[in-house]
Structure 1
Amino acid sequence: MIDFEQKPSYDVSDLVEIVRILRAPGGCPWDREQDHKSIRRDLLEEAYEVAEAIDEESPEHLKEELGDLLLQVVMHARMEEEEGRTDLNGVADGICKKLIYRHPHVFGDVTVTGTGEVLANWDELKKKEKHQETAADSVDAVARSLPGLWRAEKIQKKAAKVGFDWDSVDGAMAKLREETEELQTAIAEGSNVSEELGDLLFAAVNVARFVKADPETAMTAACDKFARRFRAVEEAARAQGKDLTSMTLAEMDALWDAVKQQEA
């Protein structure tokens, strides 16, 4: 039996100790086998589940998911501690120093007039901190692990800061049409389809940026809308005594159009 005091209430230090026990000899075999790469996806999934709880506006769900995400942070910090490189306090020390450094208007003598100057100062301090000397350095620094649409948006914003951008959404729309034509040509020729599709998606993100729409949020909404309408189509088919697999595309399209009209 592990020597551990069970309590009616726990804090972060208790979580750190529980994770230490789980990964120690005599702890949990599964937890002991994990490394940074094996639980990398878990970290991402927990972050998305936090985002979902925020969208739901559910305090209890958010509390639970934040706990799951915190566990991932503590697990990774514990792995680093086992290697003698750092620990959770080291992680906290790093982020505290970063926050102090990037908020000179709070912890220093810099004066700002509003959020715009705060963000501008943040970007400049980040560049110095990361030794980003050129605009290309800033673009290269955008994490490859980001979802594709978000990465495209961040890259475009970095380029736009030095003037590499259209004057209005009209230019972005023209580029979107151009990339659509190039994709059609690629499909007809049977070559470079994936590359041209990527260019089209990148161009679509540019349009989203100009109209101030989050491309990932827009895509999520489109997926939700499709799922909702698809369910309605299937239910309408069943009401007619039919199964989707036995229907023609034209018949399903007719039901789809009817569902759209009902939502309008």
Structure 2
Amino acid sequence: MNGKERNDRMNKLSKISYLLAVLLLPVLVLAGCTSSINEESIEAFSETSAASASDRLNEEAEENKQPDKTDDNSESVGELSASASNISEETPPDVPETEEPNQSSEETTTSNDSPDTYVSEEDDPLAGYSTEEVEYARVWLQLGPNQQIDGLYVRHIPAGTTLEPDYFPIVSYPEDVVQLSGSRIVDGSVTYSSNGDGSINVYNVPLPGRWYGGSPTPPEGLDEETMREELEDIINNTELVYVNPGNDEAVNKIIELISK
């Protein structure tokens, strides 16, 4: 290759290089601008995002400072429900008090004025009678010699009263006793003291005037010592008897025969 051809080739290469430079320059400028724009866009986006995040945080802080109305309402409703629940537990609903059943007019209770009043259940045939009257009737039903009586007589004999006051007033009762008898001599009698526990002490004594087998006076030759032994034997050998409740209707009939 001669020199001229070499120069021509060099010139061509120079031109091609120039053209390439001219062509590449806009591309490089455009690329630089694009890169700058992207960087600016990224920075702007970052700043915008940061500002938005900061604003959001500030808004949330402001919202946290102010109580949420919905939450307040929910809490208020919850508090009212809890208060109502507590009130319902602490204060029972008004329930009308059950009135105590009125005591039956047929039922008699013990009062301070009448301590011996017999207390019984409703419709008890013995209601209204004293414990003493019931005791008299039960004793007679169990021990009375004759149940077919027209009347029952009750005699209270205080302690210290002599057993046979007419001819041998030498031995006395150690305690208060009661003597039950019918309206006739043949009805017999029951003399006893009450122990207050459903049992009685029975004294084997006849009615006044019947000490000597129907004779109003003691037989001849009966001395005081013999009579004393007999009377003391009666006092020292009482019989302990437990009184049966008996039939209420039968007891009621005997009570109606008590002479008052």
Q: More relative contact order in 1 or in 2 (CA 8 Å, sep 6+)?
A: 2
- Answer whether TM exceeds 0.5 for this pair: no
The bucket for the TM-score relative to the shorter chain is under 0.3
Larger CA Rg, structure 1 vs 2: 2
* Richer in strand (by share): 2
TM-score by length of structure 2 reads 0.20
* Richer in helix (by share): 1
TM-score by length of structure 1 reads 0.20
